[in-house]
């Protein structure tokens, strides 16, 4: 059986850039954030900084804190039939972690991407996603996600990759880490 990586980090830390490096190495990626974006689209809602968090919170309230993880597991298992490594991008809650850990056991690993609040906010302003807003929206989002246990996940991750430097350096560090990780069995 292959291994499953789940990457976590606060908004703007570099989870998407980590995923990009994995994608360039032909690792299939399933994004939990994309699942929320798809739900917003399915409901025909206008994209705004608050709507994504609102929908994520509604899904968790209605179906349980591990709703997105439950919806993702079968797709991951299917990909594991053909791949030695899968990435889940955007792990945000302890309930998700618990489900993934029980499902894949010692084949499940977490990677935390870390960066200072100032660096992360600046990045969100540059990337300009519809879920990114001003500093107030950024802080609301960060508080919501830490409320799901994201700060706990970051602290408990088996692997931590700091991301305070330029993009090329971060990509190189991710690539180097992946090379070493793939050699481990």
Give me the DSSP letters along 64-85: -TTHHHHHHHHHHHHHHTT-SE
**Model confidence at 49: pLDDT above 80:** no
Least confident of 32-36, 41-45, 75-79: 32-36
Classify residue 20: in a domain, yes or no: yes
Domain tally for the chain? 1
Classify residue 133: in a domain, yes or no: yes
Strands (DSSP E) contained in 12-162 are 29-31, 85-89, 108-114, 159-162
Q: Which domain holds residue 63?
A: 3-179
Classify residue 184: in a domain, yes or no: no
Classify residue 53: in a domain, yes or no: yes
**What are the CB-based long-range contacts (under 8 Å, 24+) for 179-182?**
182/85
Q: Which residue, among 161, 65, 171, has the nearest Cα to 115 in the 3D structure?
A: 161
Q: Which 8-state DSSP code applies to residue 45?
A: P
Q: What average pLDDT does the structure give for the chain? A: 92
Classify residue 185: in a domain, yes or no: no
Band of the pLDDT at 42, cuts 50, 70, 90?
A: very high
- CATH number of 27's domain: 3.40.50.300
Contacts of 136 (CB under 8 A, 6+ apart): none
Classify residue 122: in a domain, yes or no: yes
Classify residue 46: in a domain, yes or no: yes
What does the pLDDT read at residue 185? 65
pTM of the model: 0.89
Classify residue 15: in a domain, yes or no: yes
**Model confidence at 180: pLDDT above 90:** yes
Q: What is the pLDDT of residues 128-163, one digit of tens each?
A: 776 777 888 889 888 988 888 999 999 999 999 999
Spatial contact of 99 and 66, defined as CB atoms under 8 Å apart: yes
CA 95 to mean position of chain CA atoms = 14
Q: Which residue, among 93, 100, 115, 112, has the nearest Cα to 159 in the 3D structure?
A: 112
Q: What is the mean pLDDT of residues 22-34?
A: 94
What does the pLDDT read at residue 126? 87
């Amino acid at each position: 059986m292959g291994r499953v990586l789940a990457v976590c980090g606060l908004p703007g830390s570099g989870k998407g850039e980590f995923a990009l490096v994995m994608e360039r190495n032909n690792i299939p990626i399933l994004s939990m954030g994309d699942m929320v974006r798809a739900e917003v689209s399915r409901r025909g809602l206008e994209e705004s900084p608050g709507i994504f968090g609102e929908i994520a919170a509604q899904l968790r309230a209605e179906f349980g804190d591990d709703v997105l993880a439950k919806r993702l597991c079968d797709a991951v298992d299917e990909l594991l039939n053909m791949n030695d490594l899968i990435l889940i991008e955007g792990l945000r809650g302890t309930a998700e972690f618990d489900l993934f850990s029980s499902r894949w056991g010692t084949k499940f690993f977490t990677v935390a991407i870390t960066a200072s609040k100032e660096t992360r906010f600046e990045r969100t302003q540059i990337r300009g996603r519809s879920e990114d807003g001003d500093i107030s929206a950024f802080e609301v989002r960060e508080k919501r996600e830490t409320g799901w246990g994201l700060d706990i996940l970051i602290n408990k991750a088996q692997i931590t990759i700091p991301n305070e430097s330029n993009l090329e350096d971060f990509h190189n560090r991710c690539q180097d880490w992946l090379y070493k990780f793939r050699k481990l069995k």
